[in-house]
Amino acid sequence: MKKNLWTNIGFQVGALVLALLIATLILVAVGAPPFKTYASIISGAFGSTNNIEEVLITWSPLLLTTAGVLITFSAGLWNIGVEGQMTLGAIFTTWILRLLQGSSVPPALIIVLGILAGMIGGALWASLAGALKTFGGVNEIFGGLGLNFVSTALTIYLVFGPWKRPGVGSMSGTQPFDQALWLPTLPKTELSLWALGISVLVIAVVYILLRGTHIGLRLKAVGKNPKAAFLMGVPTWQYSMFAFLLCGAFAGLSGAIQVTSVYHRLLPNISNGYGFLGLLVAMLINYQAIWAAPIAFFFAALNIGSVQLQIIYKLDSSFAGVFQDLLVLLVLIGEGARQRFLRKG
């Protein structure tokens, strides 16, 4: 067991070193000083209080989408539609806030209802992908991607159509909500401890669910071998649908946080790629929920830290995405090599 642990750590560290090496070669090829570039990324993430605040703001929705995809991954499902589910959560939250803004309903209750609506919206959108998979035989990857396009089109329609700003539709989104409908933030910052607390609570719930509950064990059984699980009496399609619904609810919660805590309105690109990034985080941690928080924080810091690369070195900020993708790819390759190595040993 101890030998296997050190072998696993060795392959993981090797993948990280190789990813850094390839990223360094890319920087050299484009004429950017590698060490100064990495220093700039670290400074951009942690060099000031505002930078750290931005990292934490990014960490919250990313942690929620990661929590969601961990559920579907455990059930053997590639829920690529998590991006669209996050978007629908934002749409449902916006709808409730627009509907109740200015009414006699207390603002705190409106926020709660908006967040719950976001979770329902995400779950309903995920149920479509689940139904296509379960009853229509449509692979969840294709179903999810198709629904992502539909959700984006729906958002653009609402922003430039029924919900457009007075007199004009704009990529800057809908009319901002009254400040009373914003999640409370720390003084003189845009950081909401409520958003952070909700995100940490959700990933803790997912960890407990997958690690030590009857439901979690059944989800894993369905993911490992659905036929064997069915023969053992596990209602497989019901658990698959449950995984979709729970993932969609968490993704919708992420969208709701974006509306109530970050942007205070609906934007055409409200999901900001957090759904796909959550998939990368889940794959990198090999679906182990205990590592979700630190790795999601690392990805959030990388995203924020790379923003200034375009200003300093004329590098697109998507360099962070290149490094993240390289790291995930090499870790997956390393995991396959590790398993072959252990079998031979």
Q: Looking at the domain assignment, is residue 150 inside a domain?
A: yes
Q: 73-107, pLDDT tens digit by residue?
A: 999 999 999 999 999 999 999 999 999 998 999 99
Model pLDDT, residue 342: 58
Distance CA 266, CA 94 (A): 6
Specify whether 210 is located in the same domain as 336: no
Model pLDDT, residue 37: 85
Poorest-pLDDT segment among 163-177, 196-210, 323-337: 323-337
The total number of structural domains that make up the chain: 2
Nearest to 302 by CA among 331, 273, 334: 273
pLDDT band of 60, cuts 50, 70, 90:
very high
Specify whether 208 is located in the same domain as 182: yes
**pLDDT > 90 fraction of the chain, expressed in percent and rounded:** 54
How many residues are given for the chain?
Answer: 345
Specify whether 15 is located in the same domain as 71: no
Q: How far is CA 129 from CA 144, 247, 268, 283, in A?
A: 6, 11, 22, 21
Nearest to 33 by CA among 296, 261, 309: 309
Q: Which residues contact 296 (CB under 8 A, 6 or more apart)?
A: 59, 62, 63, 66, 278, 281
Model pLDDT, residue 154: 95
Residue 67 contacts residue 250 (beta carbons within 8 Å): yes
Specify whether 88 is located in the same domain as 149: yes
Poorest-pLDDT segment among 90-94, 128-132, 270-274: 270-274
Q: Looking at the domain assignment, is residue 37 inside a domain?
A: no
Distance CA 284, CA 280 (A): 6
Nearest to 331 by CA among 300, 295, 297: 295
Poorest-pLDDT segment among 54-68, 151-165, 194-208, 274-288: 274-288
Model pLDDT, residue 26: 85
Specify whether 129 is located in the same domain as 152: yes
Q: How many CA atoms lie within 13 A of 179 on its CB side?
A: 3
Q: Which amino acid is at 123?
A: A
Residue 338 has pLDDT above 70, yes or no: no
Q: 5-58, pLDDT tens digit by residue?
A: 566 667 677 777 888 888 888 888 888 888 888 888 889 899 899 999 999 999
Q: Which residue has the tokens 């497989």?
A: 236
Q: Which domain holds residue 169?
A: 44-314
Q: List residues bridging with 94 in a β-sheet.
A: none
Q: What is the mean pLDDT of residues 212-239?
A: 89
Q: Looking at the domain assignment, is residue 146 inside a domain?
A: yes
More confident residue, 343 or 206: 206
Distance CA 123, CA 130 (A): 10
Residue 244 has pLDDT above 90, yes or no: yes
Residue 307 has pLDDT above 50, yes or no: yes
Residue 4 has pLDDT above 50, yes or no: yes
Model pLDDT, residue 1: 47
Q: 152-163, pLDDT tens digit by residue?
A: 999 999 999 899
Q: Is residue 137 exposed (0-12), middle (13-18) or buried (19+ Cβ within 10 Å)?
A: exposed
Model pLDDT, residue 296: 93
Specify whether 238 is located in the same domain as 332: no
Model pLDDT, residue 172: 83
